[in-house]
Amino acid sequence: MVSAHQLDGAVVAVVGASGALGSLIARGAASRGALVLSVGRDAERLAAVVGGAEVVVGDLGDATLGERVAERALAVHGRLDGVVNAAGVVAFGTLSETDDAVIEELFLTNVIGPLFLARGALPALRESAGFLVNLSAVVAERPMAGMAAYSASKAALTAADRALARELRRAGVDVVDVRPPHTETGLATRSLAGEPPRLPQGLEPSVVAEAVLDAVEAGRTEVAADSFG
């Protein structure tokens, strides 16, 4: 059975904490009383997200990142109650136009890295009966032409989350898969390749950040795209 996880007093690592969405999740968690570890690649930007928060510098593609996050949390706070992964990359274009390196980067950052992260953090999360959140996307439910590799990477992440939710149930670790529609984070303008299609106005990132934190505190395992209205 999925448990509600109160953020007040919880030790929560936010990966991608210097990004448009990750920073809002980190600040929102802190405003709800969480002790935040800001995780990402740029130490200076991470330090500015939540004043006084612990900073862990690393790349999601590094197989040791999850272990290092857990080690820092245990060393400073004595436990790790949750991990929220808000990092990700996108690419546009037909598959025939997509370079090998772009496909590899999509899967390294959107699938393989999150699996590395979860594996490394799991021993600490088992100890705390904690939670793991991954930011997937609407394309996991409704894949789009011109975004085949990206859609596949997000569908793979959602599949992994669903499997992990069952795998970790007896251990008391909850896994939350969040699949927001297009959100105005600016990610589409920083794609690995290609030009984005014409997209409707997206959600405000603050809406998605609050949905993530609400899902953790309500004990939800999935936040589907339709949940955002």
- Surface-to-core class of residue 18, CB atoms within 10 Å of its CB (0-12 exposed, 13-18 middle, 19+ buried): buried
Residue with structure tokens 């789009």?
144
Give the helix ranges, DSSP H, for the chain. 20-31, 43-47, 65-77, 100-107, 113-128, 148-167, 205-218
Q: Are strands 174-178 and 11-15 parallel, antiparallel or unpaired?
A: unpaired
**Active-site residue, from 85, 150, 152, 215:** 150
Gap between the Cα atoms of 169 and 1, Å rounded: 7
| Active-site annotation holds for 150 | yes
Q: Quick one: CA dihedral 121, 76, 208, 194, positive or negative?
A: negative
Gap between the Cα atoms of 148 and 175, Å rounded: 25
Gap between the Cα atoms of 27 and 49, Å rounded: 7
- Surface-to-core class of residue 199, CB atoms within 10 Å of its CB (0-12 exposed, 13-18 middle, 19+ buried): exposed
Residues annotated as catalytic are 150
